[in-house]
Structure 1
């Protein structure tokens, strides 16, 4: 984050749940059509960490560390608080509480911050000054925090948005190093991590990455041999414990902005691919330490975006999501969904005025605060997300299951004008017939309302609302322990070997593939591994393992495993695909096609399918290129002799994570790749 008063947003689905009650004081608008939500308790996703719901705090904020703010965050279930404030992290010196070139409010030093953190029952995540600091200064901070004061500060970031240091053109992040390349930053991360862990080897150190499909992702800077992410991870992966992303979607309208969380699953899939290439099998986590919306940041679109973003990221295994930020001040006043929006990216009012219009009293919560409060009570530490889905795009659903058998549901009605009746179906879970507890936050409300309403299978959602539903199980029969984290052994174009830790004796294990909000059984065994066949080449699979005992009781599901099948190892054709030039919103694709068969091809047609809906081919060469939906076809003329190669290519734009295709067919035959 750059400043107190002005945030310039830079470019940069999990499925889930349900629920809701019609809690509006007046009658709802006529229901334009019912919505069916499916909750699949067999399809486990990530487990919620104790740092899941996070916020940013900044040294320019005179309310930093106050009891009022700490108590509001405790009430909202905030588990992580970030300091000293975005880009200030690269100019801030903790020993004297100064930030040369920036403003530091009185009583915002590190000890004051930690007092607020402890009062809120949260943990800190601290930005060590890379831009104007030294490894020794960072190591001294670790010593003061954890040895001298005993704060137990576990999470430390090395700098903030260092890719914005001018190396790629844009220059907002302070960086006093002569070499501003990703190589220099990565080497700095190694030096910082080594110095800091020499003081306290239990800390976790994070390095800054760019977010897929957001600037400068995909760019290769002058003098570099690879992108920022590839360079940083290739050098620093063995020294870090997590990576840091920031995400500020830039939708033009509220509806556009509220569609962006649908990109989260693909976004994190690409990040994990990058991590896996360099981690050496080490478990490197993902933290998203800044996010906000470009539309309606103080009003209901901001609340809906916050709920969608946190739920999507947490369901996909991010261990903390930190809203930008606590107080920031008004910028531009407008009316959004009938409510006054101050263009203030803070969760709490600063009480400031702009163009004669003043915010409410200091620390009055804005709508996104109430969304975080609902998230804090919906997805508690230790809960496991399970997959759910809606058959209508205006309603999104999320669900978590708890160790005591309860199921908590979250539903987002993105329709600003209409209430929706929700019919809920369950797989792998039987809810109690008791009336559930329902909490709702509606457009223009100043608080979350909680009551008992509806049933486990039917709820009504007010327009533009967030709703949570807490369900109890119909029975609490003893279940076997769930299997541990599965892993994929040998993966080919058509097969995969899936293994998992044993969860007891006398059990049968069932392996399921997640297909949307339903599960497809791939097989079962009494052992702890399963060879799965008849898979599709170049396809992403997410699977879970469940245990069943002799009496038929079924466990909760294992954590999810995601793997992607390959292209065939051998074929009568071979394709080499490359992103030849990328500018973070489009790219040039180069495709080499080789006839590895024994017969000539008189004319050829190459086809592939984009793994996501975000890419669109606009033109091409050495062939006739067409795209329908996500399917791309290029047709060439002339003969392609055995062992002959032809190059073709295209120009494409992308509006979301640019996941590349793996499987290509030439005249209907699936090709090898290389």
Structure 2
């Protein structure tokens, strides 16, 4: 379990542990092989919401809502502020501004908070008290905020991390309800949502989910009908408007932590799959707490912040809220020659260790992740849309976003702490002017530097963030970008895409995205397209591009993603079931049936894990082996026609745990049960 940052008080200090500075000499850029970055404007991703760049504010922070802090947050491009502060949300009573059992700083009431939000030009994300509150108390808060005061607070969460109420064995969240099950939470979320929307029907209400791959995702507690997400979504999903996730990826080194953003696309895909299956509709996703476990105040934290925000937003999260603005000093160390205070805050609290030997910089001095957020906000602004980007070097992360005015921005993250990286940028579907604005934040910098540079080449300093802001070489005058297509009639080999009525004289090209490249499937002047000869059990990402009679093309549509079904027919059938899950491992049961007409004198089952962090730890009733992601299960026993054999394994995972869809038996594709 992660440290409970949500319960820290600024007055707390920790003993000092200072590690020696181990800084490798920087390698000159000319000594490093060149990195190729590909940006493909034809492969559209998700758009940037006006609440995209968010932070957490807490009622135990005496600087909450002050003009200095509000101006600093505005300077970082913060568009959303969450209140009243993590687990404090479930003990906080807004009307009398109390939190029994916790510390409440002076001048941190709701009106003071909203004054700071307004000064920063942001919006509020408010967490209603579930643990010790009532639906009526939450509804009165909505009335005060939006009817009495006219604050127009749009986003309201119901409680904080309620799965931490002891139901799964760990307890940090206050919950006075005798029944602490997901069923009880879901039933009361329905009451909260109805009471709050009766006051203001325009608000959006969010329910707390577990993050795929993080404890206690996948666990079914005694007496429950399913996992937390399954039960909550089945009951409360139809009543709420968005899902709430938190994400604290672990790791003891910069390399470990910075690699964790690779797991975001699968994490969000699984969350959306759960939402669609159990809620029966789409829900927005808000990631209202995130932080890192390494380099919280130094350059690794800045790199993680910028890369995590860009990755989460590109994959459709509408707000990402850093934990938090101020937090307090922790265990002091030296990282890359810089003092790291192990402080979850973006801004210094100005506190010292217990023995007074080490003190933070002056109150409200920005730490490195503050500048990471500022780089993210200057790279991807509200209304921009992400497009596909990637790099040939795994230590360089690339993101790109197109702008409504025809501009394009490219964010490059050099995760190598010792080496500069000379980069060449290749563009598809976009022709930039040769000169560009270049923003940079490197180790030891106290702010973002701006210069003029080239559109197609740049040198990235070690452990740095660089943004290239481009203008088109010639004005972009093509037709409007199409809307996101829908998908219907998905089989193992085909899928039909549909979209709104086309504009006159425009034809639509259907492009499949493969990483940073695209392939055109076909084109039509109509409103549908059927893709054929697809591969069973395969995920596809598709964009539409409009082309007018003059040959001018539009920006790409938002993406459509879908997965084809498992093979519809075959001489075998496989059923894989996750029978018992404990959060980072599970027991899998596999039934293999010979549905063909001939006996099998020995058999080998084969499948691939969908991610690189899944593995078979042990198996039984057959011989299990794994090479990379490829798993093979073999037996020399005879499998007669119509016969079924059961085998099983213990699986381990360190992230989202999607099960495979495609299996072969002796090389023949199988249906799945």
Same fold by TM (over 0.5)? Answer: yes
Aligned to 2:382: 381
Deviations 1:516-541 (A, max 9, x none): 11112222222121111121111111
| Bigger mean CA deviation after superposition, 657-666 or 293-302 | 657-666
**Residue 483 of structure 1 contacts residue 502 of structure 1 at CA under 8 Å; is this kept in 2?**
no
Q: Using the TM superposition, give the Cα deviation of residue 515 of structure 1 relative to its aligned residue in structure 2, in angstroms.
A: 0.7
Q: Using the TM superposition, give the Cα deviation of residue 230 of structure 1 relative to its aligned residue in structure 2, in angstroms.
A: 0.6
**Residue 37 of structure 1 contacts residue 423 of structure 1 at CA under 8 Å; is this kept in 2?**
yes
Aligned to 2:284: 285
Structure-to-structure mapping, 1:72-221, within 5 angstroms: 72-221=72-221
Q: Using the TM superposition, give the Cα deviation of residue 346 of structure 1 relative to its aligned residue in structure 2, in angstroms.
A: 0.2
Aligned to 1:626: 625
Aligned to 1:616: 615
Structure-to-structure mapping, 1:501-540, within 5 angstroms: 501-540=500-539
Aligned to 2:242: 242
**Structure 2 Cα separation of the partners of residues 390 and 29 of structure 1:** 16
Q: Using the TM superposition, give the Cα deviation of residue 225 of structure 1 relative to its aligned residue in structure 2, in angstroms.
A: 2.2
Aligned to 2:20: none
Deviations 1:240-292 (A, max 9, x none): 000000000111211100000010000001000000012323x3100000000
Q: Using the TM superposition, give the Cα deviation of residue 602 of structure 1 relative to its aligned residue in structure 2, in angstroms.
A: 1.5
**Residue 28 of structure 1 contacts residue 462 of structure 1 at CA under 8 Å; is this kept in 2?**
no
- Aligned residue for 1:491, secondary structure, equals coil
Tell me the TM-score normalised to structure 1 length.
0.96
**Structure 2 Cα separation of the partners of residues 508 and 87 of structure 1:** 52
Runs of 5+ in structure 2 lacking a partner?
Answer: 1-5, 15-25
Q: Using the TM superposition, give the Cα deviation of residue 666 of structure 1 relative to its aligned residue in structure 2, in angstroms.
A: 1.1
Aligned to 1:491: 490
**Structure 2 Cα separation of the partners of residues 655 and 27 of structure 1:** 33
Aligned to 2:446: 446
Q: Using the TM superposition, give the Cα deviation of residue 497 of structure 1 relative to its aligned residue in structure 2, in angstroms.
A: 0.8
Structure-to-structure mapping, 1:17-28, within 5 angstroms: none
Equivalent pairs, count: 654
Q: Using the TM superposition, give the Cα deviation of residue 3 of structure 1 relative to its aligned residue in structure 2, in angstroms.
A: 2.0
Q: Using the TM superposition, give the Cα deviation of residue 28 of structure 1 relative to its aligned residue in structure 2, in angstroms.
A: 5.0
Deviations 1:448-487 (A, max 9, x none): 111112x111111111100111000111142011111111
Deviations 1:349-408 (A, max 9, x none): 000001421101111000000111111111101100000000101100000001111001
Q: Using the TM superposition, give the Cα deviation of residue 503 of structure 1 relative to its aligned residue in structure 2, in angstroms.
A: 4.4
| Bigger mean CA deviation after superposition, 284-293 or 478-487 | 478-487
Aligned to 1:15: none
- Aligned residue for 2:201, secondary structure, equals coil
Q: Using the TM superposition, give the Cα deviation of residue 295 of structure 1 relative to its aligned residue in structure 2, in angstroms.
A: 0.3
- Aligned residue for 2:618, secondary structure, equals strand
Aligned to 1:2: 7
**Structure 2 Cα separation of the partners of residues 614 and 285 of structure 1:** 27
**Residue 27 of structure 2 contacts residue 418 of structure 2 at CA under 8 Å; is this kept in 1?**
no
- Aligned residue for 1:357, secondary structure, equals coil
Deviations 1:48-89 (A, max 9, x none): 000000000000000000001111111111110000000000
**Structure 2 Cα separation of the partners of residues 225 and 83 of structure 1:** 32
**Structure 2 Cα separation of the partners of residues 493 and 571 of structure 1:** 12
- Aligned residue for 1:353, secondary structure, equals coil
Aligned to 2:564: 565
**Residue 44 of structure 2 contacts residue 386 of structure 2 at CA under 8 Å; is this kept in 1?**
yes
1:406 aligns with 2:411: no
Q: Using the TM superposition, give the Cα deviation of residue 571 of structure 1 relative to its aligned residue in structure 2, in angstroms.
A: 2.1
**Structure 2 Cα separation of the partners of residues 607 and 275 of structure 1:** 30
Structure-to-structure mapping, 1:334-483, within 5 angstroms: 334-354=333-353, 355=355, 356-433=357-434, 435-453=435-453, 455-483=454-482
Deviations 1:510-569 (A, max 9, x none): 111111111122222221211111211111111111111111111101100110111122
| Bigger mean CA deviation after superposition, 590-599 or 189-198 | 590-599
**Structure 2 Cα separation of the partners of residues 291 and 327 of structure 1:** 14
**Residue 494 of structure 1 contacts residue 565 of structure 1 at CA under 8 Å; is this kept in 2?**
yes
**Structure 1 Cα separation of the partners of residues 29 and 476 of structure 2:** 42
**Residue 610 of structure 1 contacts residue 661 of structure 1 at CA under 8 Å; is this kept in 2?**
yes
Q: Using the TM superposition, give the Cα deviation of residue 640 of structure 1 relative to its aligned residue in structure 2, in angstroms.
A: 1.2
**Structure 2 Cα separation of the partners of residues 427 and 611 of structure 1:** 28
- Aligned residue for 1:523, secondary structure, equals strand
**Structure 1 Cα separation of the partners of residues 476 and 581 of structure 2:** 55
Q: Using the TM superposition, give the Cα deviation of residue 30 of structure 1 relative to its aligned residue in structure 2, in angstroms.
A: 4.9
**Residue 505 of structure 2 contacts residue 548 of structure 2 at CA under 8 Å; is this kept in 1?**
yes
Tell me the TM-score normalised to structure 2 length.
0.96
Q: Which runs of 4+ in 1 moved over 6 A?
A: none
Aligned to 1:307: 306
Runs of 5+ in structure 1 lacking a partner?
Answer: 9-25
**Structure 2 Cα separation of the partners of residues 30 and 253 of structure 1:** 27
Q: Using the TM superposition, give the Cα deviation of residue 585 of structure 1 relative to its aligned residue in structure 2, in angstroms.
A: 0.7
How big is the alpha-carbon RMSD for the aligned residues of Structure 1 and Structure 2? 1.4
**Structure 2 Cα separation of the partners of residues 606 and 7 of structure 1:** 56
Aligned to 1:11: none
Q: Using the TM superposition, give the Cα deviation of residue 610 of structure 1 relative to its aligned residue in structure 2, in angstroms.
A: 1.1
Q: Using the TM superposition, give the Cα deviation of residue 501 of structure 1 relative to its aligned residue in structure 2, in angstroms.
A: 1.9
1:225 aligns with 2:225: yes
Aligned to 1:53: 53
**Residue 302 of structure 1 contacts residue 367 of structure 1 at CA under 8 Å; is this kept in 2?**
yes
Aligned to 2:21: none
**Residue 146 of structure 1 contacts residue 200 of structure 1 at CA under 8 Å; is this kept in 2?**
yes
**Residue 211 of structure 2 contacts residue 245 of structure 2 at CA under 8 Å; is this kept in 1?**
yes
**Residue 236 of structure 2 contacts residue 279 of structure 2 at CA under 8 Å; is this kept in 1?**
no
- Aligned residue for 1:78, secondary structure, equals coil
Deviations 1:273-328 (A, max 9, x none): 000012323x3100000000000000000000001110000000000000000000
Deviations 1:572-616 (A, max 9, x none): 211111111111111111111111122222211111111111101
- Aligned residue for 2:268, secondary structure, equals helix
**Residue 42 of structure 1 contacts residue 386 of structure 1 at CA under 8 Å; is this kept in 2?**
yes
**Structure 1 Cα separation of the partners of residues 47 and 402 of structure 2:** 9
**Residue 29 of structure 1 contacts residue 417 of structure 1 at CA under 8 Å; is this kept in 2?**
no
| Bigger mean CA deviation after superposition, 605-614 or 378-387 | 605-614
Change (3 A) 1:267 1:411: same
**Structure 1 Cα separation of the partners of residues 13 and 59 of structure 2:** 16
Q: Using the TM superposition, give the Cα deviation of residue 7 of structure 1 relative to its aligned residue in structure 2, in angstroms.
A: 12
**Residue 578 of structure 1 contacts residue 591 of structure 1 at CA under 8 Å; is this kept in 2?**
yes
